Amino acid sequence: MIRRLGVSGAIALAALAVLLLAIAWPGLVAPGDPLAISPAEGFRPPSAAHPFGTDESGRDILTRIVHGASASAGIGLAATALGIGLGLVLGFAAGLGPAWLDAALGRIIEVLFALPTLVMALLLVAVLGAGAGSSILAIGLATAPGYARILRSRVRGVARSDYVGYARLEGDGPLTLFRRHIAPNTLWPLVSTATLGIGQAIVWVSALSFLGLGSPPPSPEWGAMLNAGRVYISTGWWMTVFPGLAIVVTAVVLTVLGRRLAGAGR
């Protein structure tokens, strides 16, 4: 198992375990209260008592990052689920539908894919209003064309393959073909796509929060912490660097694992 993962894969898996622990049981990793303010302790640089320093209200950054993991990962997960769900509908409709539908949907998917993700998300947030729910909806909708694009080409590839042709010759109906051949062969590779996608979604959601359009301030969501720290960037570097590092590490870990999974599937 370790040998197949490689060194980078093993490190990524270990980091993922820490992340999952922080999501499942934040109190075990960091026993403090992420929202408890103590103004006298404000703007402390990293020290033994506060390894990642404290923010403007004296809240411990490390505690906040650990407790914010579930919010950041949860929003990223929900957005990815929405994006993949929509992508599945569009991708399967295009890949399995009649030629005219495929041509029409294919074009639409390409154009939507080309619209910058964040620009599309900002349009949706402007209409829906800021907040965690809008972030999920906006990033989910904005990333859906990318998934639809991948699924469409994958479904088309499988549907036109020889073994599906033979199964059809043997008299398998469309439902049997879908259940026995097309679905398993297109859905399994989705695991790696989704792994990569969650990392990307966490980055996009954090970007929205960074712009002040995500979770509101006291929340320890990583992007929101970045947005709060942005004002103090020249005086309190730790308020920006550590929450950002949590996002980057999570994204890199999920990218490395996603690529390993894609490689293993081949």
Partner 1 sequence: MRGRSARAIPPWRTALRWVLARVGGALLVVWLVATIVFFALRSSGDPLEAILGGPGSQAGPEAVEAARREYGLDQPLVVQYLLQLWRVATLQLGDSYARRQPVADLIAEQLPGTLLLAALALAAAWALAVTGAIVSTSARGRIGAIVNATLRGIEIVATVMPGFWLGAVLILVFATSLGWFPATSQGSHPAGLVLPVLTLAVPIAGFLAQVSRDALLEADAAPFAVTARARGAGEPRVLLRHTLRHASLPALALSGWAFGNLLSGAVVVEVLFARPGLGRLLQDGALSRDVPLVIGAVTVVAVLYVAVVVLTDVVELFVDPRLRGPRPAALRAPDVAVGS
- Structural tokens at position 242: 């550590």
Point out which span in 74-82, 89-97, 157-165, 205-213 binds partner 1 (CB under 8 A): 205-213
Residue with Cβ nearer partner 1 (62 or 120): 120
Q: Which of 53, 146, 214, 220 binds partner 1 (CB under 8 A)?
A: 146
Phi, psi dihedral angles at 218 (to 5 degrees): -65, -15
- The answer to whether residue 16 forms part of the interface with partner 1 (CB under 8 A) is no
Only one residue has tokens 């209260």, namely 33
Least Cβ distance, residue 216 to partner 1 (angstroms): 13
Residue with Cβ nearer partner 1 (78 or 213): 213
Phi, psi dihedral angles at 194 (to 5 degrees): -65, -40
Least Cβ distance, residue 76 to partner 1 (angstroms): 12
User: What residues numbered 100-129 form the site for partner 1, per CB under 8 A?
Assistant: 107-108, 110-120, 122-129
The residues, any chain, with a CB within 8 Å of residue 225's CB and separated by 6 or more, are 55, 61, 64, 65, 68, 239, 243
Point out which span in 38-46, 51-59, 154-162, 207-215 binds partner 1 (CB under 8 A): 207-215
Binding residues for partner 1, total number by CB under 8 A? 53
- Angle, helices 61-96 vs 238-265, to 10°: value is 40
CA distance 51 to 37: 17
Point out which span in 59-67, 139-147, 163-171, 184-192 binds partner 1 (CB under 8 A): 139-147
Radius of gyration of the chain, Cα coordinates, nearest whole angstrom? 22
- Are the C-beta atoms of residues 147 and 83 closer than 8 Å to each other? yes
The residues, any chain, with a CB within 8 Å of residue 127's CB and separated by 6 or more, are none
Least Cβ distance, residue 111 to partner 1 (angstroms): 5
The residues, any chain, with a CB within 8 Å of residue 3's CB and separated by 6 or more, are none
Q: Which residues pair with 60 in a beta bridge?
A: 54
Amino acid at site 235: T
- The answer to whether residue 210 forms part of the interface with partner 1 (CB under 8 A) is yes
Residue with Cβ nearer partner 1 (54 or 134): 134
- The answer to whether residue 140 forms part of the interface with partner 1 (CB under 8 A) is no
- Structural tokens at position 63: 């505690």
- The answer to whether residue 237 forms part of the interface with partner 1 (CB under 8 A) is yes
Q: Which residues bind partner 1 (CB under 8 A)?
A: 8, 107-108, 110-120, 122-130, 143, 146-147, 149-150, 199-200, 203, 206-207, 210-213, 226, 230, 233-234, 237, 240-241, 244-245, 247-248, 251-252, 255-256, 259
